[in-house]
């Protein structure tokens, strides 16, 4: 069954034929919708085309598909039990691992979606403070529940009534936002860097991070890091640990189990009793297989220093792309951490070049994205990066033929 045939069938039984962040219709021309296989850092679409994958399924795959240790752990757990009348011992082991690994973590709660974790973190903060308002960076993605989904379709004004926006990396702006709801701020939530779609990424300013911590302390609010997207790729201890800034609560998901569905909130002792008051649960939140996969994933990342592995291959990719862009006469912006990279073309407001170039990359065998950040995994070897760079080089050449140089 070809991608085109599958899309035709899908259009009849799925609204729009597809929806959400994997809806290829919104990526640009040439993107396949259906995928059939993954192995290491390679994926195959329904038409049988093989890609060096630079999206990692939008983050979850961090050790590569079919990673032996993760698969062995998941299979062993699966052989005894997954969804039972209570959690398996592995829930305790996983929580202990997170508490051991993450300096700001005295406890952990598990769920399924990144949105579960961000929502749960805000609930803990509200339960602890008895306050309602949450300061959220303008344009930041914290999930797809009504309080945070980027589209207002299907939401009501009440869904956003307790959200107050501030500008990322702007401490005065954050302070001003807090002042508008003085005395009622339950939490300040921030992604560890600015990774909004359609925009160049922006690393966090250390003084902003420290200022946010000070503000939260001063006003008695919780500082929440949404590490759903970046977690486990930059620093296993939490993405602001290297800045010396520790959150009260952190939301984790995506990469934590190498593709198995799980999310978590970690928090400090000060918030433990508040966390205990929530009724927050889900039918599959305590299933053991995803927890066993998470434990094996995180242990592996720790042993191999996963972030450093990805930093190395990410740096190779960035350097290669920079050289290619220069050689082909294009001015590009490569932004974000090298493990979670993105490339935009200078002055390409309509994304015309990005769309053409990414489609050409696809045709040449590398899967990346025109308007959403990419993800490296620890499965990307130098040879994989070089294979990807071979494809991007041809894509730059085709772009030059089509549009000329800058």
Q: Which of residues 116-175 bind a copy of itself (CB under 8 A)?
A: 116, 119, 122-124, 126-127, 132, 143-147, 149-151, 153-159, 161-162
If the CB atoms of residues 139 and 150 are measured against a copy of itself, the closer one turns out to be 150
Among 14, 179, 322, 327, binds a copy of itself (CB under 8 A): 14
CB of 96 to a copy of itself, least distance (A): 5
If the CB atoms of residues 30 and 150 are measured against a copy of itself, the closer one turns out to be 150
Neighbours of 263 (CB within 10 A): 28
CB of 242 to a copy of itself, least distance (A): 24
Residue 45, interface with a copy of itself (CB under 8 A)? Answer: yes
Q: Collapsing DSSP states into helix, strand and coil, what is residue 254?
A: helix
* Close Cβ partners of 62 (under 8 Å, ≥ 6 residues apart): 56, 232, 233, 255, 258, 297, 301, 306, 310, 375, 377, 378
Among 49, 69, 112, 400, binds a copy of itself (CB under 8 A): 112
Instruction: Count residues near a copy of itself (CB under 8 A).
Output: 109
CB of 401 to a copy of itself, least distance (A): 27
Q: Cβ(261)–Cβ(290) under 8 Å?
A: yes
> Which residues 241-270 are close enough to bind a copy of itself by CB under 8 A?
253-254, 259-261, 267
Q: Collapsing DSSP states into helix, strand and coil, what is residue 267?
A: strand
Q: Cβ(34)–Cβ(3) under 8 Å?
A: yes
If the CB atoms of residues 122 and 171 are measured against a copy of itself, the closer one turns out to be 122
Q: Cβ(82)–Cβ(74) under 8 Å?
A: no
Tokens of 330: 């294009």
What does residue 46 show for φ and ψ, rounded to 5 degrees? -65, -20
Q: Cβ(262)–Cβ(69) under 8 Å?
A: no
Stretch touching a copy of itself by CB under 8 A, among 30-38, 305-313, 316-324, 396-404: 30-38
What does residue 264 show for φ and ψ, rounded to 5 degrees? -155, 150
> Which residues 321-380 are close enough to bind a copy of itself by CB under 8 A?
367
Sheet holding 185-190, edge to edge: 107-111, 263-267, 249-252, 222-226, 185-190, 133-137, 163-166
Residue with tokens 């002792």: 269
Q: Collapsing DSSP states into helix, strand and coil, what is residue 163?
A: strand
> Which residues 85-104 are close enough to bind a copy of itself by CB under 8 A?
85-89, 91-92, 95-96, 98-99
CB of 15 to a copy of itself, least distance (A): 4
Residue with tokens 């979670």: 340
If the CB atoms of residues 38 and 307 are measured against a copy of itself, the closer one turns out to be 38
Tokens of 342: 């993105």
> Which residues 197-236 are close enough to bind a copy of itself by CB under 8 A?
228
CB of 40 to a copy of itself, least distance (A): 12
> Which residues 276-295 are close enough to bind a copy of itself by CB under 8 A?
276-287, 290
If the CB atoms of residues 99 and 315 are measured against a copy of itself, the closer one turns out to be 99
Stretch touching a copy of itself by CB under 8 A, among 42-50, 200-208, 316-324, 340-348: 42-50
Stretch touching a copy of itself by CB under 8 A, among 52-60, 240-248, 345-353, 397-405: 52-60
Q: Cβ(90)–Cβ(288) under 8 Å?
A: yes
If the CB atoms of residues 274 and 376 are measured against a copy of itself, the closer one turns out to be 274
**Cα(330)–Cα(347) distance, integer angstroms:** 11
């Amino acid at each position: 069954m070809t991608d085109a045939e599958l899309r035709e069938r899908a259009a009849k039984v799925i609204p729009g034929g597809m929806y959400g962040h994997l809806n290829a219709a919104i990526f640009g021309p040439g993107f396949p919708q259906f995928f059939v296989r993954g192995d290491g850092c390679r994926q195959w679409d329904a038409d049988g085309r093989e890609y060096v994958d630079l999206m990692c399924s939008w983050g979850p795959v961090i050790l590569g598909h079919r990673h032996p240790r993760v698969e062995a752990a998941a299979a062993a757990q699966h052989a005894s039990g997954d969804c039972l009348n209570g959690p398996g011992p592995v829930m305790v082991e996983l929580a202990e691992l997170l508490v051991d690994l993450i300096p700001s973590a005295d406890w952990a709660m598990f769920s399924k979606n990144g949105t579960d974790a961000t929502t749960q973190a805000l609930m803990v903060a509200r339960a602890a403070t008895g306050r309602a308002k949450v300061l959220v960076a303008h344009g930041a993605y914290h999930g797809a529940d009504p309080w945070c989904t980027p589209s207002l379709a299907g939401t009501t004004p009440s869904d956003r009534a307790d959200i107050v926006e501030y500008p990322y990396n702007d401490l005065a702006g954050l302070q001003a936002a807090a002042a508008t709801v003085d005395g009622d701020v339950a939490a300040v939530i921030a992604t560890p860097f600015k990774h909004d779609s359609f925009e160049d990424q922006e690393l966090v300013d250390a003084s902003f991070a420290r200022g946010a911590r000070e503000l939260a302390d001063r006003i008695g609010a919780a500082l929440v890091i949404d590490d759903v997207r970046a977690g486990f790729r930059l620093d296993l201890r939490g993405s602001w640990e290297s800045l010396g800034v520790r959150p009260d609560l952190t939301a984790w998901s995506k990469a934590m189990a190498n593709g198995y569905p799980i999310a978590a909130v970690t928090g400090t002792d000060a918030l433990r009793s508040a966390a205990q008051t929530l009724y927050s649960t889900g039918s599959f939140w305590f299933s053991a297989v995803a927890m066993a996969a998470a434990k094996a994933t995180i242990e592996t990342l720790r042993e191999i220093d996963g972030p450093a592995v990805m930093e190395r291959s990410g740096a190779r990719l960035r350097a290669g792309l920079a050289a290619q862009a220069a050689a082909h006469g294009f001015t590009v912006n490569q932004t974000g951490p090298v493990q979670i990279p993105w490339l935009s073309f200078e002055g390409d407001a309509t994304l015309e070049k990005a769309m053409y170039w990414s489609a050409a990359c696809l045709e040449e065998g590398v899967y990346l994205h025109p308007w959403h950040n990419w993800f490296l995994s620890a499965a990307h070897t130098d040879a994989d990066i070089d294979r990807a760079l071979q494809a991007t080089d041809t894509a730059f050449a085709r772009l030059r033929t089509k549009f000329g140089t800058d």
